[in-house]
Structure formats: C-alpha cells, structure tokens
A and B are shown apart, each in its own frame.
Chain A
Amino acid sequence: MARGLKSDLIALGVMVALLGGASMLQPDTSLQLVERSGVLRVCVPQSFPPLVNDNRTNPGFDISILEEIAKRSNLRLSTNVSATMGRDFNPANWRITRAQCEVVAGGVVTSVMTRSFLETIDTGIENGWVMISKGAAPAKGARIGVYPGFAGLDRLKLSTYLRDSGYQIALASSPEAVVQELKAGQYDAAVASSLDALQVVSASPGYSTNWLPESLGRFAFGLGLWKGDVTLKRRVLSAWRAMQQDGFVAQQRARYGLIEMPKTAGL
C-alpha cells in the first residue's frame, strides 16, 4: 500500500516537475535577437516633452529610462526618430514597424486598443485635462485660457464642462502663450493637458495644477513593445521594477518635473 502510494507520488512529482521545467522554456526569440545585436532600438516622435525632448543633455523621461534599461541589460540604446509619429490621425500611416525598432516610446497610451498590437509597460505618467490656477478654483465667470495641444484629449467634453461651470473660454496657441497671458493677467486660470501644464507651471511661479474630473478623459502613458515579444518584455519589465525600487525612476520624474498632481480639482 505504502509502496503504491510512494510510486503514485513519484509519478505525480515527475509530471509536475516536467511541466514546471517546460514553463522555463523561452516562448520567443525577441530577447535573443536584441542580445545578439547588442542594440535596443526605440522609435520616438521628434518631440513630445517631457517624455521625448529635442535636447541631448535632457533627452526626455522615456529616453532616459530606456537608456538606463539598455545599460542595465548590457545593450546600447539607438533612437529612431520618426517625423510622421503623432502627425497623422491614423497611427497605421506612421509606418512604424517591427523592422525599425523593438520599443516604441514618447506618448504610447497604454489602452486596451494599444494592447491589440503592443505589449505595454505603464510608466505611471497620466495625461488628461488639468486646471492651472493660483490656489483655489477660479470663481464663476473667470476667464480661462485653454491650450488644447496635440494629445488627442476630448476637446468637446472639455468645452461643455467649462461652459457648464460658467467660465469664459479663450483659446491659447501654445504653452508659452498661456504663460504670457497668465503673467499679464489676461487669464484668471488656464486649462491644458497635464504634460503641457507642467511646462506652464514651471514657468509660472505661484500657480499649481489640479486634475479636472476623470470623466473628461484621462489615460496612462508607457513604453510599448511589439505584441508577442514576451521575453524582451520580461527583461524590460524586470529592469523597470529594479529602477523603481532603487529610486532611479523617482529621480527621473523629479529631473523632468513630472510632479504628482492632486486627483481632483477643487471645482
């Protein structure tokens, strides 16, 4: 009886061990190919501050993060700047393919739709409409400068929300224009996407940012790897987690002024 049980348990153990061992096999060649070439290629837009800057000393949050990931993986980072990225309404027309890069960065939205063609790693940076104001929420009837930018946020919802809140709306042409008009007292407050708002606040002492309600649209940014490249994603993710733990990510957030914003505006 005991011998029978022992033999059963051995057979069971062998099966479980074989399955566990099989689980350690490599499901694809993506990491192997990158390691063989020694280069991690990333496709980025020309500029999408502060994630990608047109500046060698401060190349942007995403680039700095990827440079460190490459360094920790004994790889060299090669950036492939795409002039078409973000310009055309249809991303398929940007013609960014697997042949050009292994990673896509600089404004990759980690949505369900994106995950239909990319594996995404959330970098904890959110984009959405943000109110830039001095302390308390602007009073009814206040003049609000709006810089819609190119982030693809819902402008119609924002417009309805601001009108329903009783504000006067003035359209601004750039973040710099918002800074100037705030300084000149032409605007009581301003609204921009969170990434643009960071630029405005850094040049406007005394102003702070508050998220507008989430119902107006908010989405997370991250790094994108081609769907199916599981082994490479595991390596990047493990480096990203290590960087989070040793404080490198926090350092880079501070370096690029990616401050935490209050979750809701006091409106």
Chain B
Amino acid sequence: MSVSTVEDQDESESAALLRVIVGGVYAIWLREVKRALRDRGQLFGGFSRPILWVIIMGVGLNPYFRGEVYGEVRFVVPYTYLQFIFPAVIALNILYTSVQAAVSVIWDREFGFLREVLVSPMPRPMILFAKVLGGATVAMFHGSMAILLSYFADVPISTGDILSGLGLMFLMAFGLTSLGVIIANRIRSFEGFGVFSNAVILPLYFTSSSVFPLDPALTAAQTRVVYPDWLVRVVELNPLTYAVDALRGNFIHFYQFDPRIGPLVLLAMAVGFFTIALIEFRRN
C-alpha cells in the first residue's frame, strides 16, 4: 500500500498544470496557423508582395542602378539593386503578416473566443505567448516564401544562410506580431486596425533603408551631405533598419551597420514589444 505525501500531490498537480499549459499553447498556436492557412487573402498577399517588389519593381528599377561606365559608381552598394532589395522584401512580408496576424485578437474579442480562453486554467502570459507564437510562425513562413525568388534575384543561398535566416526571421516576426497585438489592443474595429496597421507598416518599411542604401563607406557627416539630416536620423532611429540590415547581412553578406547591432535589436524588439503587449493584454 502506497502513501501519497503532500509533496507527491503538489508534483502531480504541477505536472497536470504543465500539461494544460503545453496543450493550451499548442492548441492556440495551431488555431492561429490553421486560420492563416485558410485565409486565402493573407496567403495571396504573401505570394503577391514578393512578386510585385522583387520582380516588378526590382526589374523596373534595375536599369537605373546598373553599371554603364567603367569606374563610375551609380549605386554605391557592391550588389545589384535586385540583390539589395531582396532581403528587404523578406522583411516586408514578415512585417505585413506579423502585424496583420494580430487582427485575430480583435476577431477573438468580437466573437467571444477570447473570453472563453481567458477563463481557462491557462495563465494569461501563456495565452498571449501562444497567439504571438502562432502569428510569428505564419509570418516566418511568409518570409520564407520570398526566399523562393532568390534565384531570380541572383542571391545564392546556402543551407546555413537559410537556417540562420530563419532564426532572424523568427525573432523579427515575434517582435512585430507583439507590436501588432499592442496596436490591436488599442483599436476596437477591423476597419480601424487595417488603416492603422498600414499607417505603421509602410512608414516603418520605407524608412528602414529597405529601398535605398545609406552608403556604409561614407562618414556620418558625408551621409548627411547626400541625404537630408532628418531622413538619416529617422532611418537610424527606426529599429526595422537594423532588422533589415541583419537579414541583408545574412543573405547577401552586406552590412550597412555594425553586424552585432541587428540581432541585438531584433532580440530587444521581441522581448520589449512582447512585454508591452503582455502588460496591455493583462490590463484589458
């Protein structure tokens, strides 16, 4: 005959709770992934953005950045324009999908699913974590879709580049999905979220040195001769600049800033935005 002690009971209770948490995280994550997969519009967006940006815009602008005269530098970066914008398009796909993934928070609130989840034994941080994890997974997948155009953009990618790239893409997706949740927590309607998210996504993208380079060979003073001071400052203050730079360094081995900054900023974005999202999620 066995005698169960208080410690044994505590252990089995905590094991049961852990099972509930892991199962709950998995269920919410799977729900997010399935919903994204079934949202044909979102899937089509993940396909059409790289097509438009790499194939249409990249090819359209390529002749303006190509070499014409020996020794004459028209485009300071030692890569073609297509190669230069390719990592930025991966970032754009992640940016759109991450922020849009947070629309599910409004959706769940609207249809009562969030209330049901909130009364479950799952701790609130884990509910948010699972939702963000689901959104980040989908965003990372959309970013990976853009990699399929690497041959077209003449960007040779090794298996190592893909693996390290996926790590960076996940960090970026996690941070940006958390940012989307912060936005969704403040906006109560689908329409408002759509307008506001676009108002965040596009300025963030265009001021991240995604479509034009800040010449790394120039000093800070020289850069401010080429571009107006306010623009350089906005680019330098935009955290996405360093995220794009990290992806660019990973895929085409070209950095505009210190290579250590990008991963650090991505990590800070992931932790920082998730913490803010969590505080607001608890409060609401």
Contacts and interface: CB of A to CB of B under 8 A. Distances in A.
Interface stretch (A57-65, A168-176, A201-209, A226-234): A226-234
Interface string A1-19: 0001000100110011011
Interface string A102-142: 00100000001101111100000000000000000000000
A43 B70 CA distance: 10
Nearest to B79: A115
Interface stretch (A24-32, A215-223, A250-258): A24-32
Contacts of B152: 22-25, 27
Give the residue among A96, A227, A230 with the most B Cβ atoms within 10 A: A227
A226 B65 CA distance: 11
B253 to A, nearest CB: 11
B151 A23 contact: yes
A11 to B, nearest CB: 6
B47 A227 contact: no
B47 A117 contact: no
Contacts of A28: 59, 62-63
Contacts of A229: 66
Contact of B75 (A16, A119, A227): A227
A72 B70 CA distance: 27
Nearest to B82: A27
B74 interface: yes
Interface stretch (A86-94, A155-163, A180-188, A192-200): A86-94
Contacts of A93: 71
A138 to B, nearest CB: 38
A215 to B, nearest CB: 21
Nearest to B80: A228
B154 A234 contact: yes
Interface in B3-35: 34
Interface string B44-80: 1011001100010011001101111111111111111
Contacts of B75: 116, 227
Give the residue among B38, B51, B72 with the most A Cβ atoms within 10 A: B72
A144 B252 CA distance: 44
Nearest to B76: A116
B148 interface: yes
Give the residue among B46, B67, B150 with the most A Cβ atoms within 10 A: B67
B79 to A, nearest CB: 7
B274 interface: no
A96 B70 contact: yes
A82 B118 CA distance: 77
B148 A228 contact: no
A48 B44 CA distance: 55
Contacts, number: 113
A2 to B, nearest CB: 13
A229 B82 CA distance: 11
A228 B63 CA distance: 7
B153 interface: yes
A15 B69 contact: no
A27 B150 contact: no
A171 B38 CA distance: 77
A234 B82 CA distance: 15
Given A8-B37, A27-B153, A116-B78, A227 B67 contact: yes
A73 interface: no
Contact of A16 (B37, B44, B145): B145
A154 B24 CA distance: 66
Nearest to B36: A8
A97 B38 CA distance: 52
Nearest to A15: B47
Contacts of B68: 97-98, 117, 226
B135 to A, nearest CB: 17
Contacts of B65: 227-228
Contacts of B62: 27-28, 228
A95 interface: yes
A94 B71 contact: yes
Given A4-B38, A19-B51, A92-B72, A230 B145 contact: no
A20 interface: yes
A117 B70 contact: yes
24 contacts: A8-B37, A11-B40, A11-B43, A15-B43, A15-B47, A18-B47, A19-B50, A23-B148, A24-B152, A25-B55, A27-B62, A27-B82, A27-B154, A43-B70, A92-B72, A97-B68, A97-B69, A117-B70, A117-B72, A118-B67, A227-B66, A227-B75, A228-B65, A228-B80
Given A15-B145, A24-B152, A227-B80, 5 more contacts: A19-B50, A23-B148, A27-B152, A96-B70, A118-B70
Of all A-B residue pairs in the complex, the 4 with the closest CB atoms, nearest first, are A228-B66, A91-B71, A115-B78, A227-B67
